[in-house]
Amino acid sequence: MGAERALYERDRHDGDVIAEVGTACIFVPADHVAVTRYSATVNMQGHDRVLFEILGGAAGATGDTIIISVQEATAEGAEGAVAAAGSRALASGAKITTLPATAGAGFATRNDLWLIEVRSEEMDVDNLFNFLQLKVVTTGTGWVVGAVAQRSIASYEPVATTNVTEVVP
Amino acid sequence: MERKLYELNRFDTDTQASLIEPQALAAGTTNSIWLGMANYNKAIFVIQGGAANDAAATLDVLVREAQDNVGGGAQAITGKAITQVVADVGFATLNDLWLIHVETPEMDVNNVYTHLQLQVIVSTDDTWEISAICMRQTRRYEPAPTTQVTELID
């Protein structure tokens, strides 16, 4: 019987090669001041689920806010201020954190972990939306944020019946 | 129904959300809180590295074990450390992801080592943007199934 696989073999934790540059973290830990910023995209072809793990550290002031959502796109894109081509909120339904998360009195010592899971069947695969990325919107004086995407190898087709007339289970 | 990824493993710590929340770690040693492994058989530390302040800055990251959640008998686990990283000329735009995998048979279970900790060391007078989580897989097997068994015939 073969050895049980390691956790890092079962799922993928790094990003993709985008514009010939390998991407480790899809959203590098840094202090983001009143900005809308997009993570690097992850290609969901070959994967059926992804868990976005967004880590939050200190904010800058009591009233600072953060909103994190998942977008689907038709092309790859690097982390930055510009969304990937075709990037939009998931057509199947928003994947978004409670709006808005306010830093509050403990803003300087915040420790947050947001988990957002998306299945490939929630993506508009029929229209070639094969990529996902995070959209992070911060207001105020800043919020330290980083993120990792954990992708699970596909066990099933995302849309198994695209061209099938009828399925009788 | 197939379980979600966040149901398969535990992503938060025993007492807080992220293991090390994103921050510019100051020079010196930063120790995470201790994570209990009694109900888990694997853990993977996912460490993100952003910008450093200087090309000469160095970073060491390792996993330690202890006999309780306050660090009793703390010791490093052999082989569970990344190769020391030097920030180098691209220090302001670094993007790194380190994974350190630990299975309970690799812990000193016979001497009741039950907790894990991540230790991060930043070189003197330097800073490094770091964050980390630890994903723990629920236990399916005994960590050291033959501790008191005279002989195992497989």
The string of pLDDT tens digits covering residues A18-52 is 888 889 999 999 998 889 999 999 999 989 899 99
Residues of B in contact with A25 (CB under 8 A): 48-50, 95-97
Instruction: Give the pLDDT of residue A163.
Output: 67
**What are the start-end ranges of the H helices in A113-154?**
none
CA distance B113 to B115: 6
Cβ atoms B34, B115 nearer than 8 A: yes
In sequence order, the 6+-apart residues with CB closer than 8 A to the CB of B7 are none
Contact A30 B51 (CB under 8 A): yes
Instruction: Give the pLDDT of residue A166.
Output: 66
B97 touches chain A (CB under 8 A): yes
ipTM exceeding the 0.85 mark: no
CA distance A6 to B62: 18
Indicate left, alpha or beta for A146 from its phi (over 0: left) and psi (-120 to 50: alpha): beta
Phi, psi of A121, rounded to the nearest 5 degrees: -70, -10
Contact B133 A117 (CB under 8 A): no
Give chain A's mean pLDDT.
Answer: 88
- Picking from A32, A105, A102, the residue whose alpha carbon sits closest to that of residue A65 is A102
Instruction: Label residue A154 by pLDDT band (50, 70, 90).
Output: confident
CA distance A2 to A20: 35
Helix (H) or strand (E) holding B103: strand B96-103
Beta bridge partners of residue B118, listed in sequence order? B63
For B44-91, write each residue's pLDDT tens digit: 999 999 999 999 999 999 999 999 999 999 999 999 999 999 999 999
Cβ atoms A134, A83 nearer than 8 A: no
In sequence order, the 6+-apart residues with CB closer than 8 A to the CB of A74 are A84, A85, A86, A127, A128, A129, A130, A131
Instruction: Give the pLDDT of residue B42.
Output: 92
CA distance A73 to chain B (A): 22
Q: Percent of chain A beyond pLDDT 90?
A: 62
Instruction: Give the pLDDT of residue B30.
Output: 98
Give chain B's mean pLDDT.
Answer: 91
What would the two tokens of residue B142 be? 């005994």
